[in-house]
């Protein structure tokens, strides 16, 4: 049983009140929605893709501080990256940034919802627009996140 | 007359209350609306069954089968007594409230609800009293309507009157106590309207039966559902009660052993009530364990239970009202609510709040509480919920208050 | 490799086996096909849950909820391992085999079976694998056909070939082991035929899973159902396994908590698998208790279980064959049958026989064993049935034989 | 827990092999069928009524020794009795005759199935042919037998 005593440090509280890249993109190249049926967190992401790079990304929705902080960090990491690099993002890249590696099982879903939405979004984009036959691996990975 | 029952004495019957959690913090269990803790009497009843009497029931003549069958059926008698049910054959054991309501939707519902009919439920229902009716009305081309909730968390029963006036309502499915707001439904008024309109009423008693005296003959409804696990009993047991005249007309739900009279290759006749609706090996040990829970509550008396909860809830409401930024949902009138307090604390998300105070040993629930329609009505994504039972103390409420103050510090409120 | 496991040592784990019944006679429990006894490990697992970890699951963030959720989900992993299931999300916890089969009939069945279609079952099925299909085919105007049983208690699989040749068969629902005759179904042959005809297969594993190694990937069927209580586990728990491609297309069964993703007033989306099919508070404590049963059987090894039963059954068949007037049903080929012996003794009615030998402490079952179609085929009203498990001994078989001799004296045979 | 040691005395065994009044009546005035879903026992009774008396009674079906013996005793008691007297027959009248008063709960159904069938048969007769409005009491009584 891990302790959660140190989870709510300043950075998390700060992100929860002032999330990065929060909002919508009109007519985005990629958009995806998912929610966490167990707690009601709900996230939409929007991305524009230019020259195989994520030229812009925003997220919207509601969630707990952990969800908002992780979503913020996720968008910060993704912005400007190539699709290939985005595909490689692992959960610890997000969790590590916020010191959440030992998060308890129930809360991990709050932390990784936006990453899941990102991966499904990219999958949908690759499968639809680029006819990428390897996209399924990404879908598998997304569904295995938690 | 009961002389003063000591909560300290009650607590001794619940071994889990001695648990330390997280950083060796004393457990303060305030998630009773989700499931109650079990007294040693219930735990022992289950162990005793498996240790001494375990057998399948109803069909064999050997000694263990006889003992098991009798113990299982005695529970049915105790349920009848507990809820003042006239005929034990109206009592069907199921897994829980959810299965009970679905059973009605699949049998009575499929038989009686037609295109254009209306089923009425409320904005403060648990998903288990909404989704089965969504599935049914969608299948049949019928309509689902909701009785609204006012800002005090009370039902707008005028709306029920309006729905009933259409003459199209087939069923009103309503909970006797909200699991989020604690509101106690005015069943007398609901029944008065529905009887006048000759409309059937299903009552979700999942939150009422554990916490207050419930008399089914007095209510006068047609279907009643509740779960054992919320009233000191084991998981995996619930009760569906159906008025005999209706039950006799209902087609079976599950097919299988025990629910049949004679099976031939191409035709089958059904067993007597209630067995017609108890197909397959039931949850024998836990039904027997539930007996001990009913005994425990009967010994305390439901008046004691209700009074104790009123006292704790009043104390908690008073204390919580003094916390700046803390918003409590539902009525403040203690006579109209049970021991459930839903709240939000400034801009702290309920999940974060629950995690923070869990570090202090305090177990509350956060989320939509399987009541997303109500969350939409309250215009929140989630709430935090503290809910009390017979073993909770004012000292535990104090620990809750303290842990809320810690959350305020972390979030710099 | 396992070194010799002592049955005496196994017996020590089952406290009930020390019971005296009736006139202080040592219990000889031979009703294992109805339900198995529970080892102390299972009883303790349930007590431990209620004593130390009890909470509702999946929805809360507090410590107890976390512990309970993890323990509950671990059982799913153990079931996957026990039956060589690839994807844990294909495993749905239900009350038992009966609910599992009815769930398939209500969801996949209502979606896929149309007028004129055929469902094939067998003459040796338990009512729980007949009645749900009667209800479904009658509702849909479809047809129910039976694979016959020969005088050795084996299926006439030629008839399956004939049914399949019509091109109208939608489902073959078949048990892997008869609970009356003990016959082990030739699943390889059934699957060969059904795969060729591209017909879905539901396997009732209620009697096979407790008594022999079962590998779902090897069988290759589409639906598989069994009960925990027949394999050392608690009552109130069963498993439905469904191949992912089918499960993903299936509409939900019960509506309620936990099976939803988002509930709005007039529309709802479903949760991921397997939760979509686990509405409401499940039988948490007993699913966790079932873990201990799976551990127990895994530790013994299913080869040990099967071999021990072969030994006991062979011994019993030999002894019983020497009793004049005693007729045994089913094959004598021990490789084709499990540890279930159905018999009739001259003109003594099975109920009388069971009562007489119950006086000697011997618990057997008498009646139609929820298999009235088979009773008609055998042209008997009922049979007596002795069924064995891991803790039974040859000495217990001797007590059975002796008590049969007493019955012969009373009835002046 | 009662002992069943003495149940299978000579009389029971004898009745089970040579039941009294076993068989059918063609075109009977009263007939009724019921079975015990738990054990498969199945009993039909046939009666002729003359001058408000049971002029003839037979039973048919299959059941255990206890069921056969009790059915035999029941028919012996009923034969020749007035309907009013038949209505008054209690379960102990049957059980007492065979020393079965302490029969265990499961087996009581075997013993009383034929009495139940008798009472339902008489009820049906009274309600249908005599329009007896008190017949319902008999139905209640029959359904309460076990
Ligand atoms: C072959 C078979 N199928 C199904 C069942 C029904 O199982 P349950 O009563 O646990 O639902 C049984 C046992 O009673 C059985 O032996
Ligand atoms: C009001 C209400 N109805 C129904 C339910 C569902 O009960 P169960 O999960 O035991 O089926 C609950 C509890 O979760 C409840 O609080």
pLDDT per position as a tens digit, D57-72: 999 998 999 999 999 9
Task: Please tell me whether residue B169 adopts helix, strand or coil conformation.
Answer: strand
Neighbours of D, requiring at least 3 CB pairs below 8 Å, are B, C
Check pLDDT > 80 for residue D3: no
Q: Is the CB of B309 under 6 A from ligand 2?
A: no
| Residues of C with a known catalytic role | 370
Instruction: Please tell me the distance from the alpha carbon of residue C183 to that of residue B331, in angstroms, as a whole number.
Output: 64
D42 min Cα distance to partner chain B (Å): 10
B51: which chain C residues are within 8 Å (Cβ-Cβ)?
Answer: 15-16, 43
Q: How far is the CA of C126 from the centre of ligand 1 (A)?
A: 7
What distance in Å separates residue B95's CA from the closest CA in chain D? Answer: 23
pLDDT tens profile D12-45: 999 999 999 999 999 999 999 998 877 778 899 9
Give the per-residue SS3 of chain C: CCCCCCHHHHHHCCHHHHCEECCCEECEECECCCCCCCCHHHHHHHHHHHHHHCCCCCCCCCHHHHHHHHHHHHHHHHHHHHCCCCCHHHEEEECCHHHHHHHHHHHHHHHHCCCCCEEEEECCCCHHHCHHHHHHHHHHCCEEEEECECCCCCECHHHHHHHHHCCCEEEEEEECECCCCCEECCHHHHHHHHHHCCCEEEEECCCCCCCCCCCHHHHCCCEEEEEHHHCCCCCCCEEEEECHHHHHHCCCCCCCCCCEEEECCCCEEECCCCHHHCCCCCCHHHHHHHHHHHHHHHHHCHHHHHHHHHHHHHHHHHHHHCCCCEEECCCCCHHHECCEEEEEECCECHHHHHHHHHCCCEECEEECCCCHHHHHHHCCCCEEEEECCCCCCHHHHHHHHHHHHHHHHHCCC
User: Please, are residues B82 and B294 in contact by the beta-carbon 8 Å criterion?
Assistant: yes
Per-chain mean pLDDT for chain C: 96
What is the per-residue pLDDT across C116-166, written as a single tens digit (0 to 9) for each?
999 999 999 999 999 999 999 999 999 999 999 999 999 999 999 999 999
Of C63, C65, C258, the CB nearest to A1: C63
Indicate the pLDDT class of residue C54, thresholds 50, 70 and 90. Answer: very high
Closest CA to C206 of C40, C33, C357, C41: C33
Using a pLDDT cut of 90, give the percent of chain D over it.
69
Cα C373-C375-C376 angle, rounded to 5 deg? 65
What pLDDT score does B1 carry? Answer: 41
Supply the pLDDT for residue D58.
Answer: 98
The minimum CA-CA distance between D132 and chain B, rounded to whole Å, is 23
Return the number of other C-beta atoms located less than 10 Å from residue C406's C-beta. Answer: 14
List pLDDT tens digits, range C389-408: 999 999 999 999 999 999 99
Task: Tell me the pTM.
Answer: 0.95
Establish whether residue C32 lines the binding site of ligand 1, counting it when its CB lies within 6 angstroms of any ligand atom: no
B227 ligand 2 Cβ < 6 A: yes
Separate counts of helices (H) and strands (E) for chain A: 6, 3
- Report the residue of B19, B24, B352, B361 to disrupt the A interface, i.e. the one with the largest count of A CBs within 10 Å: B352
- Comparing A3 with B255, which gets the higher pLDDT? B255
| B98 ligand 2 Cβ < 6 A | yes
Nearest by CB to residue B261, choosing from D35, D104, D107, is D35
- Which of C179, C342, C369 has most ligand 1 atoms within 8 Å of its beta carbon, as the pocket-test mutant? C179
Q: Which of chain C's residues have a Cβ under 8 Å away from the Cβ of D64?
A: 349-352
Hey, what's the torsion of the CAs at C108, C111, C117, C121, to 10 degrees? 20
How close is the Cα of C137 to the center of ligand 1, in Å?
A: 21
B410 touches chain A (CB under 8 A): yes
Q: Could you write out the three-class secondary structure of B358-402?
A: HCCCEECEEECCCCHHHHHHHCCCCEEEEECCCCCCHHHHHHHHH
* Least confident span in A136-140, B290-294, C203-207, C322-326: A136-140
Give the chains touching B; criterion: ≥3 Cβ pairs < 8 Å: A, C, D
Ligand 1 in contact with B255 (CB < 6 A)?
no
pLDDT digits (tens, 9 = 90+) for C88-102: 999 999 999 999 999
Cα C198 to averaged position of ligand 1 atoms, centre (Å): 27
Contacts of C93 (CB under 8 A, 6+ apart): C75, C76, C237, C238, C239, C274, C278, C282, C283, C287
> Are D106 and B261 an interchain contact pair (Cβ–Cβ within 8 Å)?
no
Q: Kindly state the helix (H) or strand (E) to which residue B144 belongs, with its residue range.
A: strand B143-147
Pairing of strands B118-122, B169-175: parallel
CA angle D103, C411, C374 (to 5 degrees): 80
Confidence of residue C1 (pLDDT cuts 50, 70, 90): very low
Cα B360 to Cα B27, B311, B399, distances in angstroms: 8, 24, 8
Residues 6+ apart with CB under 8 A from B203: B174, B175, B176, B187, B219, B221, B223, B224, B225
Provide the chain B residues 155-214 that lie in CB contact (below 8 A) with chain C: none
The candidate with the shortest Cα–Cα distance to B397, out of B332, B334, B339, B331, is B339
Contact flag for C and B (3+ C-beta pairs < 8 Å): yes
pLDDT at D2 over 50: no
Cβ–Cβ under 8 Å, residues D138 and D87? yes
What is the spatial distance between Cα A61 and Cα A63, in angstroms, rounded to a whole number?
A: 7
Q: Sign of the CA dihedral B327, B329, B331, B337?
A: negative
Q: Which two tokens stand for residue D57?
A: 């009674």
Alpha carbons B377 and B382: distance in angstroms, whole number? 11
CA proximity to B122, closest of B61, B177, B77, B58: B177
Ordered by start, the domain boundaries in chain C are: 3-30+301-410, 44-298
Q: What is the DSSP letter of B328?
A: E
Torsions phi, psi of C238, nearest 5?
A: -150, 175
Residue nearest (by alpha carbon) to ligand 1 atom 7: C97
d(Cα B326, Cα B353) in Å, to the nearest integer? Answer: 12
CA B84 distance to own-chain centroid: 17
CA-nearest residue for atom 15, ligand 1, is C206
CB–CB of A4 and B350 under 8 A? no
pLDDT of residue D4: 57
Report the pLDDT value the prediction gives residue B412, as an integer from 0 to 100: 93
Nearest to B404 by CA among B325, B318, B339, B332: B325
For residue B377, list chain C residues with Cβ-Cβ distance below 8 A. none
Q: Give the whole-angstrom CA distance, residue C264 versus residue B186.
A: 25
C179 Cβ inside 6 Å of ligand 1: yes
E-only strand ranges, D40-131: 42-50, 53-62
Residue in C with minimal Cα distance to A39: C59
Tell whether the model's pLDDT for residue C388 goes beyond 60: yes
Omega cis (within 30) before B76: no
Other Cβ atoms within 10 Å of A92 Cβ, number: 10
B175 lines ligand 2 (CB under 6 A): yes
Provide the pLDDT for residue A2.
45
Half-sphere exposure of C410 (CA within 13 A, CB side): 27
Strand partners, B155: B149
Closest CA to B308 of B235, B210, B401, B384: B210
Which of B52, B66, B263, B278 would you mutate first to test chain D, the one with the most D CBs within 10 A? B66
pLDDT in tens, chain B (413 residues): 445 789 999 999 999 999 999 989 999 999 999 999 999 999 999 999 999 999 999 878 899 999 999 999 999 999 999 999 999 999 999 999 999 999 999 999 999 999 999 999 999 999 999 999 999 999 999 999 999 999 999 999 999 999 999 999 999 999 999 999 999 999 999 999 999 999 999 999 999 999 999 999 999 999 999 999 999 999 999 999 999 999 999 999 999 998 998 899 999 999 989 999 999 999 999 999 999 999 999 999 999 999 999 999 999 999 999 999 999 999 999 999 999 999 999 999 999 999 999 999 999 999 999 999 999 999 998 999 999 999 999 999 999 999 999 999 999 99
- For C388, list phi and psi in degrees, rounded to 5: -110, 160
Q: Taking residues D117-125, report their average pLDDT.
A: 94
Confidence class for position A5, pLDDT limits 50, 70, 90: low
Q: Is D38 on the interface with B (CB under 8 A)?
A: yes
- Domain B44-298 fold is 3.40.640
Which atom belonging to ligand 2 lies closest to the Cα atom of B370?
A: 14
The CB of B128 under 6 Å from ligand 2? The reply is: yes
Dihedral angle computed from the Cα positions of residues B122, B123, B129 and B132, in that order, rounded to the nearest 10 degrees: 100
Q: For C8, list phi and psi in degrees, rounded to 5.
A: -60, -40
- Chain centroid to Cα C9, Å, comes to 26
Catalytic pick from B157, B334, B346, B370? Answer: B370
Task: Output the CA B229–ligand 2 centroid distance in Å.
Answer: 10
Q: Do A107 and B375 touch (CB under 8 A)?
A: no
Using CA atoms, how far residue B397 sits from B9, B318, B341, C282, in Å, is: 18, 11, 12, 29
For strands C118-122 and B169-175, give the pairing: unpaired
Omega prior to C274 cis, within 30 of 0: yes
Task: Please state, in angstroms and rounded to a whole number, the distance separating the CA atoms of residues C13 and B54.
Answer: 15
Round the average pLDDT of chain A to a whole number and report it: 90
Q: How many residues make up chain D in this entry?
A: 146
> Percentage of chain A surpassing pLDDT 70?
97
Residue D137 confidence (pLDDT): 84
Min distance C80 CA to chain A CA atoms (Å): 17
CA-nearest of C124, C126, C132 to C171 is C132
Q: Examine the pLDDT at C52 and tell me if it is beyond 50.
A: yes
A94-100 contacts at long range (C-beta below 8 A, 24 or more positions apart) = A94/A70, A95/A70, A97/A73, A98/A11, A98/A12, A98/A69, A98/A70, A98/A73, A99/A6, A99/A7, A99/A9, A100/A7, A100/A66, A100/A70
CA C121, CA C159: separation in Å to the nearest integer?
A: 11
Is 90 exceeded by the pLDDT of residue D104? no
User: Chain A window 49-68: which residues touch C at a Cβ cutoff of 8 Å?
Assistant: none
Q: Is the CB of C365 under 6 A from ligand 1?
A: no
Contacts of C148 (CB under 8 A, 6+ apart): C122, C123, C155, C156, C159, C377
Can you tell me the mean pLDDT for C178-191?
98
Across the range A23-34, mean pLDDT stands at 96
Q: What's the farthest any 2 CA atoms get from each other in chain D? A: 46
Report CB contact under 8 Å: A4, B359. Answer: yes
Q: Give residue C160 CA to ligand 1 midpoint distance, Å.
A: 23
Confidence of residue C3 (pLDDT cuts 50, 70, 90): low
| pLDDT given at position C58 | 87
Contacts of B168 (CB under 8 A, 6+ apart): B116, B117, B118, B143
Structure tokens of C338?
């499990």
Contact B266, B51 (CB under 8 A): no
Candidates 3.90.1150.10, 1.10.3720.10, 3.40.50.10280, 3.20.20.80; CATH matching C3-30+301-410: 3.90.1150.10
Say what the pLDDT of residue D142 is. 86
Give the residue on B whose Cα is nearest the Cα of A61: B381
Mean pLDDT across the stretch C210-229? 98
Indicate the pLDDT class of residue C23, thresholds 50, 70 and 90. confident
Question: What is the distance between the alpha carbons of residues B33 and B126, in angstroms, rounded to a whole number?
Answer: 12
């Amino acid at each position: 049983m891990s302790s959660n005593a140190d989870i709510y440090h300043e950075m998390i509280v700060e992100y929860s009140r002032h999330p990065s890249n929060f909002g919508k993109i009109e007519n985005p190249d990629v958009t995806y929605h998912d929610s966490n049926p167990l707690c009601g967190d709900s996230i939409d992401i929007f991305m524009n893709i230019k020259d195989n790079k994520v030229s812009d990304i925003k997220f919207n929705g509601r969630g707990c501080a952990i969800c908002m902080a992780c979503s913020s960090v996720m968008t910060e990491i993704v912005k400007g990256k190539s699709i290939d690099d985005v595909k490689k993002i692992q959960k610890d890249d997000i969790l590590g940034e916020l010191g959440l590696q030992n998060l308890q099982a129930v809360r991990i879903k709050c932390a990784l919802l936006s990453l899941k939405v990102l991966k499904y979004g990219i999958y949908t984009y690759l499968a639809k627009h680029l006819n990428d036959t390897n996209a399924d691996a990404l879908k598998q990975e997304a569904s295995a996140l938690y | 007359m009961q002389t003063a029952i000591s909560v300290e004495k009650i607590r001794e019957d619940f071994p889990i209350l001695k648990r330390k959690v997280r950083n060796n913090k004393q457990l303060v269990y305030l998630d009773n609306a989700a499931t109650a803790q079990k007294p040693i009497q219930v735990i022992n009843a289950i162990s005793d069954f498996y240790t001494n009497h375990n057998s399948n029931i109803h069909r064999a003549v050997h000694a263990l089968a006889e003992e098991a069958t009798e113990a299982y059926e005695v529970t049915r008698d105790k349920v009848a007594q507990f809820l003042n049910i006239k005929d034990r054959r109206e009592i069907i054991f199921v897994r829980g409230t959810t299965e009970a309501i679905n059973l009605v939707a699949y049998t009575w519902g499929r038989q009686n609800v037609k295109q254009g009919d209306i089923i009425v439920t409320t904005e403060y229902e648990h998903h288990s009293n909404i989704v089965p009716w969504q599935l049914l009305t969608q299948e049949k081309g019928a309509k689902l309507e909701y009785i609204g909730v006012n800002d005090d968390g009370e039902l707008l029963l005028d709306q029920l009157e309006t729905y009933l006036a259409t003459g199209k309502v087939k069923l009103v499915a309503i909970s006797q106590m909200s699991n989020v707001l604690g509101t106690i439904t005015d069943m007398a008024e609901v029944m008065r309207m529905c009887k006048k309109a000759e409309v059937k009423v299903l009552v979700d008693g999942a939150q009422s039966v554990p916490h207050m005296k419930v008399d089914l003959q007095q209510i006068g409804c047609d279907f009643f559902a509740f779960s054992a696990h919320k009233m000191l009993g084991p998981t995996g047991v619930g009760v569906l009660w159906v008025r005999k005249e209706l039950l006799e007309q209902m087609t079976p739900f599950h097919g299988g052993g025990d629910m049949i009279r004679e099976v031939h290759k191409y035709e089958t006749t059904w067993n007597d009530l209630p067995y017609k609706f108890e197909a397959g090996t039931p949850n024998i040990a836990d039904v027997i364990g539930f007996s001990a829970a009913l005994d425990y509550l009967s010994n305390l008396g439901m008046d004691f239970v209700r009074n104790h909860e009123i006292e704790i809830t009043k104390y908690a409401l008073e204390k919580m009202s003094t916390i700046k930024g803390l918003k409590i949902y539902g009525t403040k009138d203690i006579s109209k609510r049970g021991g459930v307090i839903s709240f939000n604390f400034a801009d702290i998300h309920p999940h974060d709040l629950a995690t923070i105070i869990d570090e202090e040993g305090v177990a509350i629930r956060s989320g939509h509480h399987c009541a997303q329609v109500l969350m939409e009505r309250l215009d929140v994504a989630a709430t935090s919920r503290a809910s009390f039972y017979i073993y909770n103390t004012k000292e535990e409420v104090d620990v809750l208050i303290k842990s809320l103050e810690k959350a305020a510090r972390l979030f710099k409120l």
